[in-house]
Structure 1
Amino acid sequence: MARFPDHIRYSIGQCELGSLLLAGCDTGICAILLGDDEQPLIADLQRRFPRAQLTRDDAALGSDLQSLLRYVDNPVGPLQLQQPLTAFGSDFQQQVWSELAKVPAGQTVSYSELAKRLGKPAAVRAVAGACAANPLAILVPCHRVLRSDGGISGYRWGVERKQQLIELERQLASAG
């Protein structure tokens, strides 16, 4: 696992899903968080990176934040970011997030199917835990994971947002 950063810059914007926090470090974008208000998002970022100094830097992150906000409205289109994505997590979490990135927009997968794809069919709870720890909302599409019966279960950023993202992606995928 990569060493956690000492300094993180962040910027916050508003989108259809509420407030969106974009954070970057020396190696790239390390967090994309969703919420209703800025302060809980900043607290979440600090919890994820407890030793890091946080600095708001709208100028340095403005271009990527605007690109990301546009992408939220069209999550099946290409996303152009100036910085690479850098998700900090365990090896298992990285595997889950990598497999999640293969699920196309407009489609969903169950937690158990995702565990099977990883070659670990008994790791359903661990897969759910990795989804809950996802630091890159929308770009690591944990919103595309459903219960085995097709129902919507928890989502780190709210079940309503999960439903909204799934519906938007299905509409855009069927229109394209």
Structure 2
Amino acid sequence: MNDSHTNALGRATEQAMGMSQATWERHANPWSGWTRVAIFPLLTLAIWSRVWIGWWSVTCVAIVAIWIWLNPRVFPPPQSVDNWMSRGVLGEQIWLRQRDALASHHRHVIRSTITIASVGALVWLIGVTTLNLTATLTGMVASMLGKLWFIDRMVWLQREAEASEPSSN
């Protein structure tokens, strides 16, 4: 996946989620970030539930989809952003706004994390479609690890940006 693909994917995701500045501020709440980590397993279970509850699984999937959209909106802005998840969200904003100006030591890693998450999501999709438990779990784990690594890189990006800001002392 090259930089133009990662840029397009990031922009498309932000637009689809309708992320305003106020929404980003709320999403920086660590409760928002950590509950989003749980979304992939919940979505997996909701889709897989078609085996047990048939078409009612569509309701489960819809509930998870609504939560995906609501999640960055329901938590208040954090009192402090001095935590890993909040810094990751702030770093993601920096990445979305300043992709072309990123230091080269970030580009390759960010591209790698997005590729890992995307390939994992593809394997997951094949798994949930074919009801292959191994593919489903392998894909979900790979995608989640790629996303968590991405967030970790966003923390690094945010800390570098913070360190380069003029001191307010």
TM-score (norm. length: structure 2): 0.27
Q: TM-score, normalised by structure 1?
A: 0.26
- Which one has the bigger strand percentage? 1
Between structure 1 and structure 2, the one with the greater Rg is 2
Higher helix residue share: 2
Which protein, 1 or 2, shows the higher relative CO under an 8 Å CA cutoff with sep ≥ 6? 2
